Amino acid sequence: MSILIVGVGNALRGDDGAGLAAARRVREKLAARQGAPAGGGGAPAGVPCLDLERITVLELSGGGMSLVEAWEGASLVVVLDAVQTGALPGSIVRVDARAEPLGSLRSGRSSHGVGVAEAVEVARVLGRLPARLIVYGIEGKSFALGADVTPAVARAVEEVALRVLDEVCLS
Amino acid sequence: MARAKRGTTIKVDTLARVEGEGAMRVRIRGGRVAEVQLRIYEPPRFFEAFLRGRRFTEAPDITARICGICPVAYQMSAVHAMEDACGVQVTGPLRNLRRLLYCGEWIESHALHIYLLHAPDFLGYESAVHMAKDHRDLVQRGLQLKKAGNDLVTLLGGREIHPINVRVGGFYRVPSPAELRPVAERLRWARDAALETVRWTAGLDFPDFARDYHFVALRHPDEYPFNEGRLVSSGGLDIAVREYEAYFAEEQVPHSHALHSTLAGRAYFVGPMARYSLNFDRLSPLAQQAAREAGLGPVCRAPFQSIVVRAVETLYACDEALRLIATYEMPDRPAVEVVPRAATGYGCTEAPRGILYHRYDLDGGGLVAGARIVPPTAQNQKVIEEDLREFVERFLDLPEERLAWQCEQAVRNYDPCISCATHFLRLHVERE
């Protein structure tokens, strides 16, 4: 069984890059653990449950459907994306997408031809969802081209990265 | 969908199925269309500014971020413009690999639009999700077809976020013939699926609507155009890419941050239907035959049939990709050396949605002093508005809901990219 962690968004549109940034932080944390001397054989120190060989971290900025292509063969998929739900910037929402639809989430203003939520629902209809699909949404505030990342969103990125590590560890 | 008696406003959120966000307003007064406003695309001024002071080698990666659906097109126009500035021409197997990469992007982009964005309009579904419930096999075929293109782009472009393998002068790494073999296997399936797609789209119901468009596309002496050619039009234009700005103008329109592109003061049409109508004789025999069997002539002026034209182009791209793979010889080196110089370079390639123009001014050290980027959707905005105006006037008697539905469909005929706009696309039809 393999694990895919995938961030989506557009890094040039301020908070829309939150999902990408979170994926990058997960990758960095995994790499740091891999490099830890006590971790012999690729197992990270202090987190013996993580088998790094089976974890892939991706950053995507194409349409939502490329997500469905990317997760083929993975049994646990964690999607990280910026969202706009009207909550406070930096709020984190976690959805178990096998259990409930993503209808309430509106992804950030990235150039997704088919949004993440719609792609997930198409995959559900076609029976192409992975065995476990978790979506983390980070509430963004500024999505303009060239906008700065909102500080609360930057903090949430860090928080989500940690929670994702826990998530895959407990799988 | 809301209704009111006077000053009717209909909001249709499903227009979000056009990539990104945008807004459209049609105002009807006394049985005539008083006003059409389309606000779907802002020109990429941010990127032009962002590029200034950057090294000439950075332009392909930076401009690839303008569109998540067609990054290859931006890379291709950028590398051609930079090589033009530096007096370099990339030829032989490296040139063919670029063409192959472009085939991948066309297949990916067209399959997505045909099956997931445009087909629901024709079959009466609100979205691809609704359509997938009743037409599972059809949507699966579309996704599989898209994946064949995606495989090509991933192999040649090496993308994780954007294709990062493309560079000025060629590639960072080129594939071996052995690496291309499994891709060819999938492309053979894709070519059959594309042929089925042509047949299936040909059987859809099309509103009886055609206009006498001014088509603009690239034209090459031997090839259906991707990377190179002269800019030609159905009105007799025949110019080099570097002359683009002398003939094409962008004018500010009051209702939008968008600019309207014009050629000799008139709207013009770019994209699959223009390419097809100006280059039918350059399609492969298989694609020409499929087009004829689908009932298309060598020129198509019916915009709702653009879905069939896209299917024909998908078929061509599969066919051409297989030809390129069959004749592939691995180049000695992945890129030719490009030494910057103070000059201006011009590039124009055929993005899935139509011609994409880039111009760069370089200083002697290879830094970008100025950039100009004109994407296809920016060029089509005026002609889309004209389509809407004429369509609504002709079909004013249709029930409100049906009219709104077909207006959306009319916008989607152009597969517009609206990723730079800042509002979710809503349609307003107001009757006074």
Each residue of B278-323: pLDDT tens digit? Answer: 999 999 999 999 999 999 999 999 999 999 999 999 999 999 999 9
Using DSSP, state whether A8 is helix, strand or coil.
Answer: strand
pLDDT classification of B370: cutoffs 50, 70, 90:
very high
CB atoms under 10 Å from CB of A40, counted, come to: 8
Is the CB of A113 less than 8 angstroms away from the CB of B143? Answer: no
pLDDT score of B309: 98
CA distance to partner chain B, nearest, from residue A101 (Å): 12
C-alpha dihedral (B162, A16, B352, B171), degrees to nearest 10: -10
pLDDT score of B37: 79
Q: What is the CATH number of domain A3-169?
A: 3.40.50.1450
Least confident of A77-81, A110-114, B192-196, B225-229: A110-114
- Choose the CATH number for B45-380 among 3.40.50.1580, 1.10.645.10, 3.40.720.10, 3.30.230.10: 1.10.645.10
Element (H, E) at B97: helix B92-111
Establish if A145 touches chain B: CB-CB under 8 angstroms: yes
pLDDT classification of B20: cutoffs 50, 70, 90:
very low
Is the CB of B146 less than 8 angstroms away from the CB of A110? Answer: no
Alpha-carbon separation of residue B315 from B62, B84, B145, B189, B298 (angstroms): 30, 31, 10, 11, 16
Whether the pLDDT of residue A33 is over 90: the answer is: no
Chain A residues near residue B17 by CB distance under 8 angstroms: 114
pLDDT score of A36: 56
> What does the alpha-carbon distance between residue A140 and residue A108 come to, in Å, rounded to a whole number?
7
Establish if A58 touches chain B: CB-CB under 8 angstroms: yes
Across the range A123-147, mean pLDDT stands at 92
Higher pLDDT, B224 or B397: B224
> What does the alpha-carbon distance between residue A50 and residue B187 come to, in Å, rounded to a whole number?
38
Is the CB of B161 less than 8 angstroms away from the CB of A60? Answer: yes
> What does the alpha-carbon distance between residue B171 and residue B293 come to, in Å, rounded to a whole number?
39
- List pLDDT tens digits, range A40-83: 444 444 455 567 788 999 998 777 888 898 999 999 999 999 88
Bridge-based pairing of strands A132-139 and A92-96 is antiparallel
The single-letter code of the amino acid at B51 is L
pLDDT score of B354: 98
Q: Looking at this predicted complex, what is its ipTM?
A: 0.85
**All structural domains of chain B with their residue ranges:** 45-380
**All structural domains of chain A with their residue ranges:** 3-169
Averaged confidence pLDDT in chain B: 89
Across the range B348-353, mean pLDDT stands at 97
CB atoms under 10 Å from CB of A23, counted, come to: 28
Share of chain B above pLDDT 90, in %: 73
Is the CB of B422 less than 8 angstroms away from the CB of A121? Answer: no
pLDDT classification of A111: cutoffs 50, 70, 90:
very low
* Residues sharing a CB contact under 8 Å with residue A163, sequence separation 6 or more, in sequence order: A92, A94, A136
pLDDT classification of B12: cutoffs 50, 70, 90:
very low
